[in-house]
Amino acid sequence: MSVIIAHSLRKTYGEKILLNDVSFSIESKQRIGLIGANGTGKTSLLNILYGGDSPEHGEVNHANKFTVQYVTQEPELDESKTVLDTVLDGPSTVMRTLRDYNKALVNYELQQGSDASEQALFKAQANMDAHDGWAADTKAKTVLSKLGIKQPSALVGTLSGGQRKRVALARALIEPADLLILDEPTNHLDAEAIAWMESFLLQYEGAIVVVTHDRYFLNRVTQTIFELDQGNLYQYDGNYELYLEEKANREQQAIKSEDRRQNILRRELAWLHRGAKARSTKQKARKDRIHDMKSQTGPKEEEQLSFSTASTRLGKKVIEAVHLSKQTPTGTWLFKDVDELITRGERIGIVGANGSGKTTFLNVLAKRIQPDAGEVIQGETVKIGYFTQGEMEIDDSQRMLEYIQEGASIITTKSGVQITAEQMLERFMFPRSMHRTLIYRLSGGERRRLYLLRVLMEEPNVLFFDEPTNNLDIPTLRILEEYLLDFPGSVVTVSHDRYFLDRVTERLLVFREDGNIDRFMGDYEDYVKQVAEHAKESKHTDKEKTKPVQPKQRKKLSYKDQQDWNTIESRIDSLEQKKAELEEDMSRSGSDALLLQDLQQQIHELDNQIEALMERWSELAELMDEQ
């Protein structure tokens, strides 16, 4: 069943055509990846699907009770609300039930168990039972935990941009919807959270449309690719890997068609040059046909950003960190007593949880901030190009060409060829007609691409990247990766993008929460495999050991803990009964593949809920033993 049907959508931005009579449908439970170069209209299409914008022509149709959740790149949230209130701020019955329950629980504790507050709490608990609120409560806690949201009582106004993005994601994932729209959902998430979200979305009940630069994420989550190119939308059945194969085939066929067109033109032109008279109707028609064919354009080749600039000579010792230490204002160690040597030509990836000090470490190496202890020694010939997460170097009132020329008007390639700033802008998919455009008129992705060009135009011999893949489109990332593979200098990058890390880096610095740094020789995929193997070995070893008994500090049982303890076993029994009924339905479903798939998905979700409740039961059982 179709969730949305879009017919003949047209949208422009100035003279640029973003959507040119685009038609498509989105089916129930379909998972779509929307890709295209920055500035091609991806965000415009998402806004139209959400209902936040209208096409200049065409229409979008959906059911009357259609629901949609949309997480933008920079979500706007009510800064006066707490994180928990924001996450539960949805219109569905189950969200209202959860809000009422949490409010009743807070009032009960504030009023110290008065009769009125107790009655209100009992009523809220009954509604939780009636509307499957306990499962939703478990789901909400799981989502908050997996996305690294640790302070649900904090005000949204006190959060960083990355934390706000995670709160908006949590709200969208918890609230049921017919269509979930995600614009760069992996930004500001660490690799562990991204892997969890992939698994979550594979079980999502509604349809999904996602824009992301993360090619591993795209490959695992999506089953259909929509590609926007020059106002047209091309649809490919399959994930990102299959899309690449199908696109290559389509472009090959287009090239063959163009070759045939050129051959016909050559033959027709040769005929004209032989001096044949063009007075007859047949001969005039032939000339008209030639004119029509010459006015046609061949397939547009994917624009290339590839270039290799000269860079200043770099010594063997590039940067040395000696006993570096840095703490947060509250005294938490970000890193302590770190010794690190970066040599010529190295490719180093920096990974770790959000807030673990990765960006701070990069800034210390670049001498942008001072360490609390230790020193950074840079080689005499080191020239650092730093591509930061922010865009503080960009003045919105400047024109694009002026901004690039501040870095360099002309650069010289390794072979000695000189390239002007205008030519470099064209190589970065900015046509001459855009060069005098004011920067504030660019999309977020176009600004990032322009900023990247500025950094590379300054011909550095050491490159620092802080989350370089955020807001860069996939074509730009491909060329950046190729550039870095040929770059003769050293590269140090902080990134959550597993694909980028695997392509570019040769060793990793892994930041731990205790301020220590682990070293790993190899790419990110190898590191993940090693961690999984060590965890498996550790689990096996723990089973063989007898754990020493250590005295525990007693924790007082809260009212909510007591209420959970009173109801949790019945909730587990209820879920297990539902699971048994579904398993019986499976045995009677015969060869109905769609029904089997739906039942398996429901059973999988019940298993997750049962597992979460069992963990909570174990936690409560320990608390009860301590009373």
For residue range 271-303, what is the model confidence (pLDDT) as tens digits? 666 654 544 445 555 555 555 555 555 555 554
pLDDT of residue 556: 58
Spatial neighbors of 49 by CB under 8 A, at least 6 apart, are 4, 6, 26, 60, 68, 179, 181, 209
Domain residue limits, the chain:
2-78+139-243, 254-295, 317-532, 559-626
Interior angle at CA 550, CA 548 and CA 553, nearest 5: 160
pLDDT lower than 50: segments of the chain: 276, 278-281, 303-305, 546, 549-552
φ, ψ of residue 145 to 5 degrees: the values are -65, -45
Residue written as token pair 């009582």: 153
CA distance 135 to 602: 13
pLDDT of residue 235: 93
- CATH 3.40.605.10 for domain 317-532, yes or no, is no
Q: Is-above-0.75 flag for pTM?
A: no
CA distance 68 to 80: 24
Fold agreement (2-78+139-243, 317-532):
yes
**Whole-Å CA distances, 592 to 1, 28, 206:** 17, 18, 21
CA distance 450 to 445: 9
Fold classification of 2-78+139-243 (topology level)? Rossmann fold (3.40.50)
The secondary element (H helix, E strand) that includes residue 21 is strand 16-27
468-499, pLDDT tens digit by residue? 988 788 888 888 888 888 888 899 999 999 99
pLDDT of residue 27: 94
